[in-house]
Amino acid sequence: MSERTEPANEIVTVDVDNPAHGGSVIARMDGQVVFLSGGLPGEKDVTVALDPAKGSNSKKSFRTGTATHIGKPSPHRVEGQCAAASLGGGCCDLDFVDAQGSLEFKRDVVLDQLRRIGKIELDEAVISTESLTPSLGWRTRARLGVDEEGRAGVRKKNSHEVIPLSAATCAQWAAGLVAGLEEETFPAGAEIAVALGEQAGGKIDGEGAQRSVVQLTGSRQRPQRKVIGGLKNVTHHVKMGDKEIAWDLPADAFWQGHRAAPEFYSQWLRQNIPADLGLGWDLYGGAGVFAAALADRVGAMDTVDTGSLSTDAGKEALAAAGIENVRFLSGEVSKSLDALRTNDEENHGLHVVVLDPPRTGAGAKVVERIAEFGPRYVAHVGCDPATASRDLAAWIQSGYEIKQLTIVDAFPLTHHVEMLVLLQRVGE
């Protein structure tokens, strides 16, 4: 019996058009759409190794492939910046584009998703963009995989295979985040959560001076956690107006990815939400950073999320900061809305709702339900352009209009992007 061999890749040459959601770019071959990785908008004479036409990631209506040579590169193309990505790591899929090109790429993707999925066309006057800095070494928290030999490292793209730290590290990681862990051995199949703390003013302590390392074993839903290095918690400082608030969190608790994000998002909220005596909601609130940002802009604030290490830290942080008008509730957002305050004794209604749902989005039903309570303002944070576009379409259908869209490159070196959207009830 002859051995089965994989078909050779088909090689074609194409010109690249616009970017697509997910980090690929679009080209056309004899009228057929090709989604390819490793290219940038506007590049020409790009050699592409096509995936097999009958492969699991190709359909008759389009093909997929990988750019192997760029004849006429984009002016924004740079040498790959991530050692782990060069070995196949799934961490930095856009490490070959400069900061300006990255922001333009993500802006085009967001506006395309709004048009195609949300059927939303926006005036340029309401659109702004922002690149968070630094673009390298911006991540203070990471999850590492552990291979069969007990070595921690970055997982390869779409694989459980691990690139050990001794071979390469990720360009996103702040200095000192994983220092020394390449010499350690961990249980095979475990996850290692590691976090660096910050001094007041946002300065990161390097070389593990304020670091926590937590070993996670067992099921991902209910892991067994064990602090195996450094501190139990590390501290993150966020400036809110004239005060700075400190959150003490375990390494495996949720916190915004980019070290500049909590302060930038908080300032954006404070600049765009006018002060009022009414009430506020912070939905999918996590550690309560957004509730803290708006606490002095409303009479009282309710924040709700499923109970977690982050929400526990949030309660302690706000109490220590003397913020007394924020109430934490534990539960699923969709099932908790009726438990939230909508009026106070002076009949001040619901002034603002902030929501930061997961990548799956809030969903039309949740949006419509929130809209029934009639908040004057909505601040919608979206980390996936497709699901955020569906949510924003639901807000518009529910009687709201977009007043401001800020597209934030909050995840440099990757295709991920954040959308900060201010909506106002029509007629207000």
Residues with active-site annotation: 383
- The residues pairing with 238 across neighbouring beta strands, listed in sequence order, are 245
Report which residue type is found at 365. K
- Determine whether the annotation assigns residue 305 to a binding site: yes
Q: Exposed/middle/buried for 61, CB within 10 Å: 0-12, 13-18, 19+? A: exposed
- Residue 86, H or E segment: helix 83-86
DSSP-derived letter for residue 277 is S
Closest CA to 110 of 348, 409, 372, 361: 409
SS3 of residue 32 by DSSP: strand
In the chain, the N- to C-terminal Cα span, in Å, equals: 76
Whether the upstream peptide bond of residue 134 has omega within 30° of 0, thus cis, is yes
What tokens does 424 get?
A: 């106002």
Phi, psi of 117 (to 5 degrees): -95, -45
**Across-strand partners of 326?**
301
DSSP 107-137: HHHHHHHHHHTT-----GGGEEEEE-S-SSS
Q: Does 284 show up as a binding residue in the annotation? A: yes
DSSP-derived secondary structure letter, 156: B
State whether the Cα torsion 7-11-12-16 is positive or negative: positive
Tokens of 59: 């359909």
Query: Strand 32-37 relative to strand 62-72: parallel, antiparallel, unpaired?
Result: parallel
Helix/strand/coil for 14: strand
Q: How far is CA 45 from CA 50, 155, 421, in A?
A: 15, 32, 38
What torsion do the CA atoms of 355, 131, 243, 209 make, to the nearest 10 degrees? 110
Q: How far is CA 149 from CA 153, 157, 186, in A?
A: 11, 19, 8
Joined together, the tokens standing for residue 346 give 């002076």
Copy the structure tokens of residue 331: 């539960």
Binding site, by residue number, is 256, 284, 305, 356
Binding residues for S-adenosyl-L-methionine: 256, 284, 305, 356
